[in-house]
Amino acid sequence: MNKTPTYQGVDFIIVGQGLTGSLLAHALLQKGKTIHVFDNHHQHASSKVAAGIINPVTGRRVVKSWLIDDLIPFAKRTYKELETRLGIKIYYERNVIRILFSIKDENKWLEKTGDQTVAKYVLENKGLGSFSRKINEGEGVGEIQYSSQVDMPLLLDTTKTLFLNDKILDVEKFDYQLVRFEKEQVFYKKIKAKKIIFCEGQQGRNNPWFGKLPFEVAKGEVLLVKIPNANFDKILKHKLFVVPLQNDLYWIGSTYDWDSPDDLPTEEAKQLLIHKLKKVLTIPFEIVDHQAAIRPTTFDRRPLVGLHPENTLLGIVNGMGTKGASLAPYFVNQFVEFLLEGKALDKEADIARWEKED
């Protein structure tokens, strides 16, 4: 006589415990929902390699980032709540010191300090501060305020430990072929759920249900370096980013490679980063680590959020790209409100925008 299989019932299965998956898991738990998470904790996952910078203005034209007026306060509140919940320090408000390399760049910066759309974020030359006499200077200096940095590795590692202790995380590669649907439920191994949500980062390209969405991926390589007694307390944007971590460690990056066949660190990119860093710093540094990852971005540089058009048991929250630290808290919350309360998704992030293209 065959026994009926015993399944553990949860509200949601989440695939992926990078930044987006972790924030989604915490948000659903806070709403009193039950979850089970699957993640293989790939060492080259983009969230683990990211600097976690939240930067309100970007580019040589000093353009305000999309939705940033809403994103910054929401991100701050989210990460502060997580600090309290997890008992860790992950959110650091740090201004960005930006080196200007020409009179034209300096004039553009000064012009932006009077532009009401971005003026609250950009400051006139406040000097180099702790970077003085430790870096090669440019033509001028600008400073960005209301910027910040999130300690991604600590957030992800602490969340992983918590979820393992609570037995709601399996560390293993997810097998799409084992997913089945029956009576408005989704089954995976010994778990049954109301829905399954994919937060897989660049792996989303291989998802059998969402893989045709317009993912665009770029490999990025970074260095972790030790700069003894530098005491940099702000983020530096020079030839590259120099981002303070802990214990004299700094994140240095990043490169972009749109054609790489893998996510492995390369000697070529390492030497390029070292070469650039030598042009920035006038003080000694020591290479501690060299890392690489594939960033999950999209054709239109907007997130991919929503339910599958033909099977609403399937959901996706992905495509946060290089601005994940600011975008993910906002769009994870929006997705949760969409799931639980039926609120509308932002049309620029809703995957339905690509159905219309078809």
Same domain, 174 and 130: no
Same domain, 305 and 185: yes
Same domain, 108 and 250: no
Contacts of 45 (CB under 8 A, 6+ apart): 18, 201, 293
For residue 351, which of 306, 321, 311 has the smallest C-alpha distance?
Answer: 306
For residue 3, give both structure tokens: 């026994």
Same domain, 234 and 168: no
The CATH number of whichever domain residue 250 belongs to comes to: 3.30.9.10
Instruction: List the domain range (segments joined by +) for residue 247.
Output: 216-296
* pLDDT for 358: 44
Same domain, 288 and 328: no
Same domain, 128 and 157: no
Tell me if 297 sits within 8 A of 213, measured CB to CB.
no
**Hey, which residues does 187 pair with through a beta bridge?**
180, 192
Query: For the purposes of burial, counting CB atoms within 10 Å of the CB of 168, is it exposed (0-12), middle (13-18) or buried (19 or more)?
Result: middle
Angstrom distance (rounded) from CA 255 to CA 278: 16
Tell me if 292 sits within 8 A of 269, measured CB to CB.
yes
- What is the Cβ-side half-sphere exposure of residue 206, based on CA atoms within 13 angstroms? 9
The CATH number of whichever domain residue 353 belongs to comes to: 3.50.50.60
What is the number of domains present in the chain? 3
Domain assignment present for 256: yes
Contacts of 276 (CB under 8 A, 6+ apart): 239, 240
Angstrom distance (rounded) from CA 325 to CA 328: 6
Same domain, 198 and 308: yes
For residue 56, give both structure tokens: 């309100």
Same domain, 106 and 227: no
- What is the Cβ-side half-sphere exposure of residue 275, based on CA atoms within 13 angstroms? 7
Angstrom distance (rounded) from CA 294 to CA 221: 9
Between the alpha carbon of residue 123 and those of residues 68, 120, 236, 240, the distances in Å are 17, 8, 15, 20
Which residue, of 252, 272, 296, is where some domain finishes?
296
* pLDDT for 356: 58
Same domain, 310 and 292: no
pLDDT in 10s for each residue of the chain, 358 residues: 456 678 899 999 999 999 999 999 999 999 999 999 999 877 657 777 889 999 999 887 888 999 999 999 999 999 999 999 999 999 999 999 999 999 999 998 989 888 888 999 999 877 899 999 999 999 899 999 999 999 999 999 999 999 999 999 999 999 999 999 999 999 999 999 999 999 999 999 999 999 999 998 888 999 999 999 999 999 999 989 999 999 999 999 988 887 887 888 999 999 999 999 999 999 999 999 999 988 888 889 999 999 999 999 999 999 998 899 999 999 999 999 999 999 999 999 999 998 754 4
* pLDDT for 2: 56
Same domain, 194 and 230: no
For residue 262, which of 49, 44, 50, 47 has the smallest C-alpha distance?
Answer: 44
Same domain, 120 and 260: no
Domain assignment present for 1: no
Tell me if 26 sits within 8 A of 82, measured CB to CB.
yes
Angstrom distance (rounded) from CA 191 to CA 25: 16
